[in-house]
Amino acid sequence: MIKIDAIHLREINMPLAYPFETSFGVTTGRRILLVELESDGLTAWGECVAGEHPYYSDEMIDTAWIITESELAPRLLDVEVDGGGGCLKLFKQVRGHRMAKAALENAVWDLEAQRQGVSLASLLGGTRTVIPCGVSIGIQASPEQLMDKIATELAAGYQRIKLKCKPGWDTKIFEAVRARWPDITLSCDANSAYRVRDLDHIVSWDQFNLLMIEQPLWYDDFYFHAMLQKRLDTAICLDESIRNRRDALAAIEMESCRIINIKVGRVGGFSEAIAVHNAATERGVPVWCGGMLETGIGRAHNIALSSLPNFSLPGDVSASSRYWEEDIIEPAVTVSAKGEIVVPTGAGSGYPVQKDRIEALTVRRQSIRAKARVTA
Ligand code: OSB
Ligand code: MG
């Protein structure tokens, strides 16, 4: 059993090395909530992937902070928790707020791995020694600039290129990319930018031999994605719509998608991410690990998750240097010339945090401590 002595919340501000544009907006820097658990002389970290605004999902850093401080941290400090797997039940009374829950739960798993002296990957049930990596490339100022970016990422060895798209930045872009690279593994992600009037338009993308089309319709939809999937040869991949295992089962049953993007923050932590992974495995649906422009703390957790067997497609888990001038972990995440990340085997996540650097980036902090307990 694990007893948490203190939970430290902090907000760090980090400028992105390159702006990132999606159909819902441009991000130039991140405001990130980190949680740090203290337990028995050990320290474990978690990253909340909620954005500055509620544009990707209904969570944002400020709601995550309030929920963590007022509801989640007190619950975690009040009990002895039976490892990371115990958090789901502990937080169940609080509806939603999955990204906030995930930050704490994932830190508990990290702590548990340290206590057992095993890697986080193996504690989660991971079997892969290396993970295949892709990149997600944002909407650019011009098609030429996009071509340069793609050329750079392919030269670096990345195994799959995902293009962010939206009305006006789609068919013409796919045509140009396919004209130059007819055979690369290519996909697109619309982040819910299309509507039912666009179905014919989306069906016309079958000509581009995409690996998948990610979340083309509403962020909370299954029905219309199923209608679209019936008409498409290309696989639909759901991201935003999949909040838990039950959603994954519904989407697979309804044939709303043929591939699932698992983001540990979006589904509320490692336990639920593993449950989605296992449900997809049993039904022959491949999964891959999505990204949320994480710092090294979240990135290390994504690497551990990606070591599970059914993460067979390249994820959006890529090198630290694509996001940050300097990451907050040491060593930074690097990707080999074959487009792979080696899964660490040491105790815990395998990427120690740079506390000095985190201190320097901190703009807000709050500590919550366990009430003194009387022991017999
Ligand atoms: O939809 O996958 C997404 C970033 C922020 C919010 C949503 C998404 C993304 C990405 C970037 O695609 C993935 C990454 O490189 O971290
Ligand atoms: Mg996505």
The residues annotated as belonging to the active site are 164, 263
The finding on whether 292 has its CB within 6 A of some atom of ligand 1 is yes
Residue 64 has pLDDT above 70, yes or no: yes
Q: d(Cα 355, Cα 376) in Å, to the nearest integer? A: 36
Are 70 and 172 in a shared domain?
A: no
Token pair, residue 247, equals 């959603």
Are 25 and 111 in a shared domain?
A: yes
Q: What is the pLDDT of residue 370?
A: 87
Are 204 and 319 in a shared domain?
A: yes
Q: Average the pLDDT over 79-90 and give the result.
A: 94
Q: What is the pLDDT of residue 371?
A: 82
State which ligand 1 atom lies nearest to the alpha carbon of 135. Answer: 15
Give the strand pairing for 160-164 and 186-189: parallel
Q: d(Cα 320, Cα 328) in Å, to the nearest integer? A: 9
Look up tokens 């709303």; give the residue: 256
CATH of the domain at 338: 3.20.20.120
Q: Average the pLDDT over 227-233 and give the result.
A: 98
Q: What is the pLDDT of residue 141?
A: 96
Are 72 and 153 in a shared domain?
A: no
Distance 5 CA to ligand 2 centre (A): 36
Q: Average the pLDDT over 349-372 and give the result.
A: 95
Are 192 and 176 in a shared domain?
A: yes
Which residue's alpha carbon is nearest to atom 12 within ligand 1? 136
The finding on whether 193 has its CB within 6 A of some atom of ligand 1 is no
Domain presence at residue 376: no
Q: Average the pLDDT over 357-366 and give the result.
A: 98
CATH of the domain at 360: 3.30.390.10
The finding on whether 242 has its CB within 6 A of some atom of ligand 1 is no
Residue 372 has pLDDT above 90, yes or no: no
Residue range(s) defining the domain that contains residue 108? 2-117+353-365
Domain presence at residue 113: yes
Are 234 and 334 in a shared domain?
A: yes
Are 107 and 132 in a shared domain?
A: no
Q: What is the pLDDT of residue 170?
A: 98
Residue 191 has pLDDT above 80, yes or no: yes
What own/partner pairs with CB < 8 Å and gap ≥ 24 does 274-283 have? 274/124, 274/125, 274/308, 275/244, 275/245, 276/242, 276/244, 276/245, 276/248, 277/308, 277/310, 277/311, 278/245, 278/310, 279/245, 279/248, 279/249, 279/252, 280/248, 280/252, 280/310, 281/309, 281/310, 283/252
The finding on whether 288 has its CB within 6 A of some atom of ligand 1 is no
- Asked whether the beta carbons of 82 and 1 are under 8 A apart, the reply is yes
Distance 115 CA to ligand 1 centre (A): 32
Are 144 and 215 in a shared domain?
A: yes
pTM of the complete model:
0.97
When divided into structural domains, the chain yields a total of 2
Distance 235 CA to ligand 2 centre (A): 14
Domain presence at residue 371: no
Are 15 and 45 in a shared domain?
A: yes
